[in-house]
Structure 1
Amino acid sequence: MPRRVSETDAVEAMLARGARPVERFPGTQLPWKCLCLTCNEVSSPRYNDVVNKATGVCSRTCRSRKIAAKLLRNGAEACAIMLKWGWDPLVDYPGAGKAWPSRCIHCGVIKPKKLAHVQKGRGGCTNCAGRDVSDDVARKVMVEADLEPLVEYPGSLQPWLCRCMRCGHIGTPTYAKIRARGHQCWSCRSEKIANALRLDEEEAIASMLEKALDPLVPYPGRTDLPWKARCMKCEVVLDPGPTLHNIRGPQGGCATCAERGIDPTRPGYLYLVVHDGYQALKWGIANIDQRLTQHVSQGWQVAARWNFELTGDAWALERQIKAWVLGQGVPRALTADQMKYGGHTETAYLTDISLALVQAYVVSLTGRNPEPPQTA
Structure 2
Amino acid sequence: MMLGEGAPRAIADMHAVWLEPLLPYPGTTNRWESRCLVCGHTMAPMLGNIRRGQGPCEHCGGKARLDPVVAAAVMWEAGFEPVTDYPRSNLPWHSRCLTCRSVRGRRLSHIRAGIGCRDCAGLAPTDSHLAAIEMRGREFNPLIAFPGLGAPWQSQCLNCDNEVYPRLNNLRSRQGRGCWFCAKRGLDPAAPALLYVMTHTSHGAVKIGITGTHVRPSRVKEHERHGWKLHETMTLPTGRDAYRIEQLVLRWLQTRGLRPFLTAMQMPQAGWTETFCEDHVTAPEMWQLAQKACGPR
TM-score, scaled to structure 2: 0.50
Distance 1:334 1:78 in 2: 44
> Does 2:15 align with 1:50?
no
Of structures 1 and 2, the larger Rg is shown by 1
> Does 2:181 align with 1:187?
yes
Asked if 1 retains the 8 angstrom alpha-carbon contact of 2:135 and 2:142, the reply is yes
Distance 1:151 1:317 in 2: 16
Partner of 1:345: 286
> Which structure has more helix as a fraction of its residues?
1
User: Equivalent residues in 2 for 1:130-149 (5 A)?
Assistant: 130-132=122-124, 133-149=126-142
Encode CA deviations 1:227-267: one digit per residue, 9 max, x unaligned: xxxxxxxxxxxxxxxxxx9768579xxxxxxxxxxxxxxxx
Residue identity opposite 1:93 in structure 2: Y
Partner of 1:129: 121
SS in 2 for 1:113: strand
Deviation (angstroms), 1:126: 0.4
Q: Which runs of 5+ in 1 are unaligned?
A: 11-26, 33-46, 195-223, 227-244, 252-283, 288-309, 349-357, 363-369
Deviation (angstroms), 1:177: 4.1
Aligned residues: 207
Deviation (angstroms), 1:325: 1.6
User: Equivalent residues in 2 for 1:169-318 (5 A)?
Assistant: 169-180=162-173, 184-190=178-184, 249=216, 286-287=235-236, 311-318=238-245
Partner of 1:114: 107
User: Equivalent residues in 2 for 1:67-86 (5 A)?
Assistant: 72-86=65-79
Distance 1:286 1:169 in 2: 20
Distance 1:183 1:77 in 2: 43
Change (3 A) 1:164 1:117: closer
Change (3 A) 1:172 1:59: same
Partner of 1:95: 88
Asked if 1 retains the 8 angstrom alpha-carbon contact of 2:95 and 2:103, the reply is yes
Distance 2:242 2:215 in 1: 22
Asked if 2 retains the 8 angstrom alpha-carbon contact of 1:100 and 1:115, the reply is yes
Percent identity of equivalent pairs: 23
> Does 2:254 align with 1:327?
yes
Partner of 1:164: 157
Residue identity opposite 1:345 in structure 2: M
Residue identity opposite 1:184 in structure 2: G
SS in 2 for 1:50: coil
Residue identity opposite 1:74 in structure 2: D
Change (3 A) 1:121 1:69: closer
Distance 1:173 1:72 in 2: 43
Partner of 1:59: 46
SS in 2 for 1:49: coil
